[in-house]
Structure 1
Amino acid sequence: MNHWTIQNRILFLALLPGVLVTLVLGIFFMSERARDLNNLLEERALAMVKQLAPTSEYGVMTGSSGILQNISNNMLEEQDVRAVSIYNPDMVIMAHAGPRMHTERLGQQQLLDGQLLLQRTEESVRVRAPVYAQNLIIDDEFNSFAVQPTGPLQVLGWVELELSLNNTRLQHFQHLASSLTVIALALLICSFIALRFSRQVSQPMQHIARAMKDLENGKLDTRVHVQAGAEFVQLASGINAMASALQRANTEHQHNLEQTTRDLQETLDELEIRNRELAIGRKEALEASRMKSEFLANVSHEIRTPLNGIIGFSELLARTQVNDRQADYLATIHNSSTDLLKIINDILDLSKIDAGKLIIEHTDINLRDVLEDVLTVLAPEAGNKGLELNYLIYSDVPLHIQSDPLRLKQVLTNLINNAIKFTERGSVNVRVSVISQNNNRAGIRFEIQDTGIGMSDAQLGKIFTAFTQADASTARKFGGTGLGLIISRALVEAMHGDIQVSSQPGRGSTFSFHIEAGLQPNPQDDLPPLPGLRLALLEPAVMNRMNIASLLQQWQIDHTDYEHLPQLQDALEQEGAPPWQGLIISIGRHLPDSEAVRKLLHQVRQQGLPVIALTEPGSSDSAEILLQAGVSFSISQPCTRRHLYRVLRQALQLPALPGQGQDAARNNGNKAAPVILAVDDNAANLKLVVTLLQELQLPVLSATSGREAIDVVRQQNVDMILMDIQMPDMNGLEATGHIRALTERGNMPIVALTAHAMADEKEALLKAGMNDYQTKPISQEQLVNCIERWTGFRCTIQPVAPAVASAPAPLCHWVFDTAIALRHANNKADLATDMFRMLLDSLALDMPAIMEAWEEEDMEQLLERVHRVHGATRYCGVPCLRNTLEKLETALKAGQNSMLPDLMRQLVEDSANLQHWAHSNDWETLLLEGTAVSD
């Protein structure tokens, strides 16, 4: 109906009322007429049966069939009468006229006036009435009978009359036909009137619509002329006025458009001139930016080159025999050079980001390993400041993802390092959660929360500005360039995330960021589960407890968690063997000296359970004490999953994994050492690489330019090349191309040495023919792994033997020094007593094992036992034995086998002297007296 024309709508609205009224009235009157005809037939039937009953009284009473038959035949002549039957009281027919009465589909009987019975069939109406013995009186109107009772009524018989419905139906059909004719005539008249009315309305509207269409098509001189009602005339006048107004407006608009076009043309001419000027300026700006980036790259390379030499040679020098003051100077040189190199790298990163050359790699990584690597590096700094460094990876976080591990570590390192730097006391907490995940993508959120100095709203607005910190006092106190956060934000945005910060002065700060990472299609954990094991975990810190519990659950290890030490002690003191196979205990830096810990370790030692202690970072002294107190293994927090897994297998005496621990013992067999060619135009860097390779006992060739490297490859037998990239005359990429062109040396592994390669630069290096790349300054460990990867030869890092002093060391005259023992025990006599007693017990067990290892020439077992006893002597005030063990351990590590026999004899003598002195003296009283004197 929405798409009907106005004429159709008018017709519909005009015909609808008439049609509805005509149909309703026609149906009503036809139904009423049909009902009247049926009622009339029934009334006639009742009237005739009432007349027939008294007329038949005499015949029924006398049993005269002839009279009754005449009466029946006479009734049959009445209109619509089909059949007549007269019955005796027993319903036996005495007389019948007409055909047999209809009995099919006989309707229900109706009792009328208390005497008459009425039944209907499909073709007739049957009425039955009783015949009474009575005197009959006929009234004047002759339409009813009055009974003058003279006594009780006696039924003489019955009369039944059947009237046909044919005549009634014929009258009904005649009436229906006449009614439909009247209805059709009425609808025809209504349609004619509606059609005339709709045309009077639709024709002017169509004329107006055509005029509006012409106006829409731009024929503004179109006018409307209608001869209809006043409303249409008024509408036409309005449309004509509108058309005139539009025509005038169009003329004015055309004039204005021509004027505007002329003005616009003048403006475009001016813009073209300015665009040419801007194009020239943009070209100059791009050239300046290119020159700036090239300048930064070249200058940073020129600065990094001597810095790499400083860092490398300071590391080499630190491995030689130096005294404490010299070692401190070397550490200062190394740290300062490393800090300066980091600043230069940050500046180069910033320039690359500004130039849009930052590319994010997508490699398969384990998220937990990435975070643990960062925390392991930063944990010592947090430990030195007395801060708790906690982290928690929620259980629903997907660990096997695809992202850029280097850039993710860079962001985490910047944020966590800032948190440690600006926090004097309290903790730094790192949380990792998942915010979204589908079939192949995940959104991962990192949150770094500290309890440091915090920042105000004004300071928050400055922290993401390059070379800017919150305020000048912060920069003076804590240092830094202010580039870390701006680089971190750029890296996070490159990983399709954002970074946010919330902070309050004096209450700490919370930095959070999220990244979008791909999910590895078929992730596999390289650490198989350990089902069937049960452990007890004591960790007061909630986050660390949840983190370690998550790892144990991942490895299918049943565990019972305890928050406080007394809870674990109560569990151990219960009757029966403990339900665990080992314990993991977190011990703070103050706990190793506590009586509760000693008591707990004594209980565990009696029950033979292995104990893994989690210590604060940098607390090596506490770790040695714990090992002497009965701890099986000590792990510095935050513990990595691989370290914890390896220690668990060792502590529970499980078989080592295939391939585990084979790197150090890998045997090259009869394979010859590869010849390595080092190429670098900087003499210091070249000397550093050559020295590192020579210490690995590898044959080394050197070249100072790309052309010289090509000549060496042509003339010498070279197995691998370490190639610098930026060199004068011919750089490393060009030299690599020429070497690849040599058919006989085309497959030689060539590894690029670059100071700071971005992702696109690394890709360019590999496309240019490089097999791999290493970042300067390169360490000896990097060289070992790189050489093994590309040549299959495993180098062994040779320990640097300490220089032997020219003057012999003075003989040790003190078997036991009470002052040293008390100083190491924090002036506590009971602790010093326990430590010395444990040392004596250890000597009783370890000295026979040391002698057995010496006799069997098992140097690895000998070194392990000597190292264990040496660690125990550091806290017990036994200078002679400690000095001998230190010399013996140093000689074992340096491979100075010629010194071993004399040192072994000295060890046996010093051990026997100490044990004899302990049995001959009341050393416990000496320790108590020493405590009193110090007090």
Structure 2
Amino acid sequence: MTYQEEKLFFDQQMQCTITGHDGVIKETDANIFSWKVSTSIYDAHPFFEIIKGFLEIFEKEETTYNFPCIHLEEGKLEKICDVTIKINTKEVVILLFDYSSKYHELNKIAQQKNESVLRAKELELKNKFLIDKEKFKNSFIANINHEIRTPLTSILGFIEVLQKTNLNFEQEELARIIKRQSLHLNSLIEDMVDISKIESGKIKIVEERFLFVNLMEGFQETYSKLAEDRGLAFETYIDPNIQEYLIGDRTRVFQIINNVLNNAFKFTEEGKVSLSVTKNFQRTNKLSVSFKIEDTGLGIHEEDLENIFDRFTRFNRDKQISGTGLGLAIVKDLVDLLNGEIKVTSEPDKGTTFDIKLPFKFEISKAKPEKKKKKYSLPESKKKFRILVVEDEESTQFLIMKVLIDHGSFFVDVAMNGEQAISYMERRNYDLVLMDLELSKIDGYKATHMIRKNYGDKAIAEVPIIGFTARATEAERDKCLRSGMDDFIAKPFEQEDLLYKIVKQIAKKAAS
């Protein structure tokens, strides 16, 4: 076979198709399949639906995906192709390599005798793709979580500073709106992170003894204020026969009830929302508690009820209401994790009722008083306390400096990275270090380790260090403490919480 003949044969085994980001075919040589210009690639074969997912996560740099041994059909024509998909800012290039004859030659006997092996391999490839996709998604959510929390820290922090200044009525209202929308954005991020944790099995149910009545009264207080602002009635009933202290996962119970109450208020414009908490049954040291949340809101159509707990699903047909559609999906997943039950009944324009049953345990003993947050005060000093802020975000630097300087008890120095921080500490004594974890050159973990291990001078080696980061997870907190830090605060943070932790560590150091 001559070179030209070989080239012609090879060209006939390839097909190049170019589409726009909308999936419409702009060019194709139709060597293998007779796809037409101006038709949609998504109609050509279901396999190409995956392009939509790739376009959603595309980030400007050209990205290539390779898929071996893909079965494609067009009418009676069947081909086994290796598929390469290249995505750039202007178009999507799809390259097909027809290896049907080679695959059939090499696998003819194997296909006859080992069809089960091939099916297993196909499932393995699909599973690997799903696993890789899941890893990418979780990584993507974690990064988005970090990148959004950082500017949110500054937005919420400066709004809090602004609200303490002399504002007129209109300015106060604008500040409240900005803060409310920022908190809403933060809650949406937390929803996505929670879903990711649930899917990856990273949420652990913790059984701890907590003041159940206190938790329920917290809902009464919070949502009574919201009801008053919205012109709604909020009715509550808490069964006095429920033990004051219960054993269970307080955090997850709070998430469940809070999400459902929040959903009820979101879809109720007039009338009332009610929360009824009753004892379902009790056996020895175990009991089941029923939570009934009713509203007189928009309601849900009967055909939509079976899908109400699906992710990214919203049923506000006649009204645009903000949200991701993740709240109730999280509720259902958490109820299942707690071995509980949840049911919903609803009627359009009349309201919705959620019935939730959750299991708890309790101790047959006298209740102990709940621990209160210990108060700390700065040691008496004729001079101000010096704080080193290690942070590379200019807006966060300014926010922390503003908070600490306005307090009146602190001098503040700022270092851009761990290397600069260590250099400052070698020249000046500090009473406390606020250490961001995501730093260039030397990150917060390594800088802390060096401070703790490399210096004989106690003024350096034993300085209190508080880590802070936008990666607000228990794992991150534990990593901070293991690296030698004394405490941890997540972004975005409340200014009172930040000051409390600073005063606490300085007071503890002075008392040691």
- In the superposition, the TM-score normalised over structure 2's length comes to 0.69
The one-letter code sitting in structure 2 at the alignment partner of 1:288 is: K
The one-letter code sitting in structure 2 at the alignment partner of 1:501 is: V
- 1:772 correspondence with 2:483: no
Paired position in structure 2 for 1:282: 127
**Separation in 2, partners of 1:318, 1:510:** 38
Paired position in structure 1 for 2:341: 498
Paired position in structure 1 for 2:91: none
Aligned to 1:295, the other structure's residue is in SS state helix
Paired position in structure 2 for 1:467: 312
Aligned to 2:307, the other structure's residue is in SS state coil
- 1:487 correspondence with 2:330: yes
Structure 1 residue aligned with 2:389, among 670, 675, 678?
Answer: 678
Paired position in structure 2 for 1:754: 469
Residue 775 and residue 324 in structure 1: after superposition, are their counterparts in 2 closer, same or farther (change >3 A)? same
**Separation in 1, partners of 2:317, 2:439:** 41
Tell me if the contact between 1:451 and 1:509 (Cα under 8 Å) persists in the aligned partners. Answer: yes
Structure 1 residue aligned with 2:406, among 662, 675, 695?
Answer: 695
- 1:357 correspondence with 2:202: yes
How far the C-alpha of 1:777 sits from its partner, in A, is 1.9
How far the C-alpha of 1:369 sits from its partner, in A, is 1.6
**Separation in 2, partners of 1:442, 1:674:** 52
Residue 456 and residue 472 in structure 1: after superposition, are their counterparts in 2 closer, same or farther (change >3 A)? closer
Paired position in structure 1 for 2:439: 727
In the TM superposition, 1:632-647 aligns within 5 A as none
- 1:314 correspondence with 2:159: yes
Residue 433 and residue 267 in structure 1: after superposition, are their counterparts in 2 closer, same or farther (change >3 A)? farther
The one-letter code sitting in structure 2 at the alignment partner of 1:514 is: K
Paired position in structure 1 for 2:421: 709
Paired position in structure 1 for 2:507: 792
Structure 1 residue aligned with 2:117, among 260, 266, 272?
Answer: 272
In the TM superposition, 1:514-913 aligns within 5 A as 514-519=357-362, 524-526=367-369, 668-670=379-381, 674-697=385-408, 698-742=410-454, 744=458, 745-755=460-470, 757-792=472-507
Tell me if the contact between 2:232 and 2:271 (Cα under 8 Å) persists in the aligned partners. Answer: yes
Q: Deviations over 1:108-130 (max 9, x none)?
A: xxxxxxxxxxxxxxxxxxxxxxx
**Separation in 2, partners of 1:433, 1:679:** 50
Q: Deviations over 1:31-53 (max 9, x none)?
A: xxxxxxxxxxxxxxxxxxxxxxx
The one-letter code sitting in structure 2 at the alignment partner of 1:679 is: V
How far the C-alpha of 1:382 sits from its partner, in A, is 0.5
The one-letter code sitting in structure 1 at the alignment partner of 2:213 is: R
How far the C-alpha of 1:294 sits from its partner, in A, is 1.2
Aligned to 2:114, the other structure's residue is in SS state helix
Residue 456 and residue 288 in structure 1: after superposition, are their counterparts in 2 closer, same or farther (change >3 A)? closer
Aligned to 1:301, the other structure's residue is in SS state helix
Paired position in structure 2 for 1:509: 352
Residue 377 and residue 726 in structure 1: after superposition, are their counterparts in 2 closer, same or farther (change >3 A)? farther
Tell me if the contact between 2:147 and 2:470 (Cα under 8 Å) persists in the aligned partners. Answer: no
Residue 739 and residue 308 in structure 1: after superposition, are their counterparts in 2 closer, same or farther (change >3 A)? same
Aligned to 1:350, the other structure's residue is in SS state helix
Q: Deviations over 1:168-215 (max 9, x none)?
A: xxxxxxxxxxxxxxxxxxxxxxxxxxxxxxxxxxxxxxxxxxxxxxxx
Paired position in structure 2 for 1:428: 273
Tell me if the contact between 2:145 and 2:471 (Cα under 8 Å) persists in the aligned partners. Answer: no
In the TM superposition, 1:321-340 aligns within 5 A as 321-340=166-185
Tell me if the contact between 1:671 and 1:793 (Cα under 8 Å) persists in the aligned partners. Answer: no
Paired position in structure 2 for 1:93: none
Residue 351 and residue 442 in structure 1: after superposition, are their counterparts in 2 closer, same or farther (change >3 A)? same
**Separation in 1, partners of 2:400, 2:331:** 32
How far the C-alpha of 1:383 sits from its partner, in A, is 0.6
How far the C-alpha of 1:466 sits from its partner, in A, is 1.4
Higher relative contact order (CA 8 A, sep 6+): 2
Which structure is higher in strand share? 2
Tell me if the contact between 1:367 and 1:400 (Cα under 8 Å) persists in the aligned partners. Answer: yes
**Separation in 2, partners of 1:330, 1:512:** 37
Higher alpha-carbon deviation: 722-731 or 487-496: 722-731
**Separation in 2, partners of 1:518, 1:748:** 43
Count of aligned pairs: 397
How far the C-alpha of 1:413 sits from its partner, in A, is 1.8
Q: Deviations over 1:208-250 (max 9, x none)?
A: xxxxxxxxxxxxxxxxxxxxxxxxxxxxxxxxxxxxxxxxxxx
How far the C-alpha of 1:486 sits from its partner, in A, is 0.8
Tell me if the contact between 1:456 and 1:503 (Cα under 8 Å) persists in the aligned partners. Answer: yes
The one-letter code sitting in structure 2 at the alignment partner of 1:306 is: P
**Separation in 2, partners of 1:522, 1:762:** 33
**Separation in 1, partners of 2:215, 2:313:** 29
**Separation in 2, partners of 1:520, 1:739:** 45
Residue 431 and residue 765 in structure 1: after superposition, are their counterparts in 2 closer, same or farther (change >3 A)? farther
In the TM superposition, 1:146-545 aligns within 5 A as 269-438=114-283, 440-474=285-319, 476=320, 478-519=321-362, 524-526=367-369
Residue 291 and residue 731 in structure 1: after superposition, are their counterparts in 2 closer, same or farther (change >3 A)? farther
- In the superposition, the TM-score normalised over structure 1's length comes to 0.39
Residue 390 and residue 307 in structure 1: after superposition, are their counterparts in 2 closer, same or farther (change >3 A)? same
**Separation in 2, partners of 1:280, 1:270:** 15
Tell me if the contact between 1:345 and 1:756 (Cα under 8 Å) persists in the aligned partners. Answer: no
Q: Which runs of 5+ in 2 are unaligned?
A: 1-109
How far the C-alpha of 1:313 sits from its partner, in A, is 1.1
**Separation in 1, partners of 2:361, 2:383:** 43
How far the C-alpha of 1:793 sits from its partner, in A, is 7.6
Aligned to 1:472, the other structure's residue is in SS state coil
**Separation in 2, partners of 1:341, 1:273:** 47
Residue 717 and residue 281 in structure 1: after superposition, are their counterparts in 2 closer, same or farther (change >3 A)? farther
Paired position in structure 2 for 1:19: none
Q: Deviations over 1:847-900 (max 9, x none)?
A: xxxxxxxxxxxxxxxxxxxxxxxxxxxxxxxxxxxxxxxxxxxxxxxxxxxxxx
Residue 736 and residue 361 in structure 1: after superposition, are their counterparts in 2 closer, same or farther (change >3 A)? farther
How far the C-alpha of 1:669 sits from its partner, in A, is 4.2
**Separation in 2, partners of 1:484, 1:457:** 20
Aligned to 2:156, the other structure's residue is in SS state helix
How far the C-alpha of 1:701 sits from its partner, in A, is 2.8
Aligned to 1:469, the other structure's residue is in SS state coil
**Separation in 2, partners of 1:747, 1:696:** 24
Aligned to 1:678, the other structure's residue is in SS state strand
Report which of the two structures shows the higher radius of gyration computed on alpha carbons.
Answer: 1
Tell me if the contact between 1:358 and 1:758 (Cα under 8 Å) persists in the aligned partners. Answer: no
**Separation in 1, partners of 2:278, 2:222:** 22
**Separation in 2, partners of 1:439, 1:494:** 23
Residue 286 and residue 523 in structure 1: after superposition, are their counterparts in 2 closer, same or farther (change >3 A)? farther
Paired position in structure 1 for 2:41: none
Aligned to 2:433, the other structure's residue is in SS state strand
**Separation in 2, partners of 1:520, 1:705:** 50
Tell me if the contact between 1:360 and 1:759 (Cα under 8 Å) persists in the aligned partners. Answer: no
Aligned to 1:512, the other structure's residue is in SS state strand
How far the C-alpha of 1:518 sits from its partner, in A, is 4.1
Q: Which runs of 5+ in 1 are unaligned?
A: 1-264, 528-641, 643-658, 795-935
**Separation in 2, partners of 1:333, 1:428:** 26
The one-letter code sitting in structure 2 at the alignment partner of 1:494 is: L
Tell me if the contact between 2:157 and 2:495 (Cα under 8 Å) persists in the aligned partners. Answer: no
Paired position in structure 2 for 1:928: none
Paired position in structure 2 for 1:64: none
